[in-house]
Each structure stands twice: as structure tokens, then as C-alpha cells.
Amino acid sequence: MLSAVVVGTGLIGTSVALALHGKGVAVHLRDTDPAAVRTAASLGAGMPQAPVGRVDLAVLAVPPALVGGVLADLQAEGLARHYTDVASVKAGPQQDVLALACDTAHYLGGHPLAGAERSGPLAARADLFEQCSWVLTPTADTDTETLNTVLELVSLCGAVPVVMGATAHDRAVALVSHAPHVVASLVAGQLDRAADRAVSLAGPGIRDLTRIAASDPRLWVDILSANAEAVADLLDSLAADLTDAVAGLRALAATDEAKRADGARTVEGLLVQGNAGRARIPGKHGSGAVRYETVAVPISDRPGELARLFVDAVRAGVNIEDVRLEHSVAQPSGLVHLAVAQSNASELEASLRGQGWSVR
């Protein structure tokens, strides 16, 4: 059975440790903050004591800028037979590892594409990586046993391995994670400057758009610093599209009919392109071609109502692909959105209505 040391007991490190420990792996915890180690250990993530002898795998859950130096120190210590990291950028750490003359044969860079708005060990979950992509960035001299050991880690965490080059990975996460985080923060910043009455009208759309803006700013400065050029290039491209959008909207407000028609074509083109891009995002089973439909069910806040809805949905024999709850603490009711394959939506609606639910 695999043995491991997780170095860094924040959200990702503690989640890795919880997942491994839950599968019977002997996990040792290490962090420069003793309180974080104690917290992670109290959650059942592993042992705060140092291992006796070398472990099979050391997982470096440290900021990207620290990966090279920490790896060099751990290899000099002889902590493990194999090493990986979970940093959200890969090219910079890989360059640092080479510059520090680390043993690259027994090190394999990695990045699980999972996270949460909250940080720290208390936000960790053993199932954080279930069905998430976990990028691996091997080099020409990566040892086969090291690759197999890290693949075992990915499997134990319930994730799906994806092999990419470090630079290609960084460009990809700039597109799907880093630039969107900046955009979400910019939109949320508009809310901070808005009148209370306007913000009080916020609904699920703006909540979804700005959800990731609640993350730790200091952590994200580290992440963005390590991938700044790629993110800046994407924001440049987005700025050009925003300029077109502004021009189109100004034209829509014009009195000249021809200008309004041009503006409508511009804005519609941007929205259609947005539809096309959204459709390419992979679904739960890895294909963006699968079409889903949402069945919306009003629900009261009485205890047990949500559980009763889920049980009745199961009775319909329809696979629920995603669930979203729209609810305000100030309201006595909410709306549960159940996403199902389009071909199953009518069947679920009919079954729920037959069991007394109102369906929208």
C-alpha cells in the first residue's frame, strides 16, 4: 500500500490527504504552520508525525513559486522515492526545478483542476477531486515508476489524468480558470461600488458569475503572478471584444435606424459566439455535445423537503446530472434546478407532478 507525505495543509493539500487516508494510505502531514497541521490531522487527514524512513510519494501542495526550492530541500533530505506537486501553473515551477538541478526523473508535475472559494484545511473535502481532470506534465526523463505512482495518486483521489506539456497547460488554465477569475473580480468590484438598492436585486445569474471572486486575494496574486503573461494576453483579447460590445451597444442606442441595425448585428454576433463557446464546455461525462435541460421545482424550507424531492427524483429512474438551489435566507421557499438529459426532462417532470410537486 502506498505511503505518502503531503507538504502543505491548505485546501488542496488537506483534500489530497483526506482522499488518500480514506483509501487506507498512510499519510504524514507537514507544513510551516503547525496549527494548520494540527487542524488537518484533527479532520482525519493523516499523522502530524514525520515518517520513519522514506515514503513512496511526497505531494507538494505549496504555491507555484515555492515548488522548486521545496522539492530541492525534500530530495536532499531523502524524504520520498517519488515527488509530485499540485500547483496551478506548471511552466515556471518546471523551470525552477531544472535551474536547481533537482532529480527530474523522480519528479512529475501535476495540477488537479478543483478548488473552492474558501481556503485552508477547514474547507477541505475528501471528494474534492472526484471526476475532475488532473493534469500531469511529464518530461523526457520522467521515470516510469514515478509516473505510475502519481497515476495511482490520481486514481485514489477519484480524478481523471490528463497529460499535457507545461506551457500548453498554462495557456489552457489561463483560459478556463485564471482570466475568468480576474473577470469575475472585476464584475464583483462593480457591485462593491453600486448602491445598496441595486445590489439587493442580485439573483442567481450574478451570484454564479461572481462566485469565484470570493477566493483568497493573496493566494490568487501568487497564482496570477506565475501565469501573468498568458492571462494578460487573454485579457487583451477580451478587451477587444468588450470594445466591440460597447460600440455595438452605443449603436443600439442611436436614433439612426441603420446604426441600430449594425449594432444589433454586432451584439447578436457576440452572443451567438458566446453560445457556441459555452456549448463546448465538457459535461460530467466529458462531452460538450450532450444537451441538458433544467427542471425547476419550487420547494419550501420545511425540514426534509429537499431530501423528499431527491427521493422522488430517484423514483423517476432519471439520472440527475447537476443540482442548483436558488434560495434566500430571507424567503420561506426556494427553487431547485435539476439538470437532466433533454431526452429525460419530460419523464422527470411527469413523474414529479404525479408525486405532488409543482414543476416549472
The H helix count followed by the E strand count for the chain is: 14, 10
pLDDT for the residue numbered 15: 96
Taking a C-beta distance cutoff of 8 angstroms, is the pair 104, 71 a contact?
no
- Between CA 89 and CA 80 the distance in angstroms is 23
* Partner residues linked to 327 by β-bridges: 334
Nearest to 359 by CA among 341, 343, 340, 338: 338
The pLDDT assigned to 341 comes to 80
**Which one has a higher pLDDT value, 211 or 84?**
84
328 pLDDT band, cuts 50/70/90, is low
Given this model, what pLDDT does residue 205 score? Answer: 87
Lowest mean pLDDT among 11-15, 40-44, 353-357: 353-357
Domains observed in the chain:
3-164 (3.40.50.720), 170-279 (1.10.3660.10), 292-354 (3.30.70.260)
The alpha carbon dihedral of 17, 22, 27, 31 has a sign of positive
Cell, residue 79: 524524504
**Residue 339 DSSP SS3:** strand
Contacts of 123 (CB under 8 A, 6+ apart): 11, 116
pLDDT in tens, 106-156: 999 999 998 776 778 998 999 999 988 999 999 889 999 999 999 999 999
Cα distances (Å, whole numbers) of residue 197 to 113, 204, 327, 331, 332? 37, 17, 19, 18, 21
Can you give the pLDDT at residue 55? 96
pLDDT digits (tens, 9 = 90+) for 234-256: 999 999 999 999 999 999 999 99
Q: What are 205's three cell numbers? A: 445569474
pTM beyond cutoff 0.95: no
Q: Look at residue 180 and give its three-state secondary structure.
A: helix
Assigned C-alpha cell, 61: 501542495
The three cell numbers of residue 214 are 470570493
* pLDDT, position 90: 95
Whether 352 has a pLDDT exceeding 50, the answer reads yes
Sheet holding 3-7, edge to edge: 26-30, 3-7, 55-60, 80-85, 107-112, 133-137, 160-163
Residues 144 and 240 sit within 8 Å (Cβ to Cβ): no
Q: What is the pLDDT of residues 279-315, one digit of tens each?
A: 888 765 444 455 678 888 888 877 777 777 877 887 8
Residue recorded with cell 512529475: 108
Computed over every residue of the chain, the mean pLDDT equals 89
Instruction: Identify the CA nearest to 134 among candidates 74, 84, 91.
Output: 84
In the block, cell 482570466 appears at 179
Q: How confident is the model at residue 14 (pLDDT cuts 50, 70, 90)?
A: very high
Question: Cβ–Cβ contacts within 10 Å for residue 267, how many?
Answer: 17
Q: Poorest-confidence range of 219-223, 261-265, 269-273?
A: 219-223
Q: How far, in Å, CA of 331 to CA of 196, rounded? A: 19
Task: Say what angle helices 67-77 and 91-99 make with each other, to 10 degrees.
Answer: 40
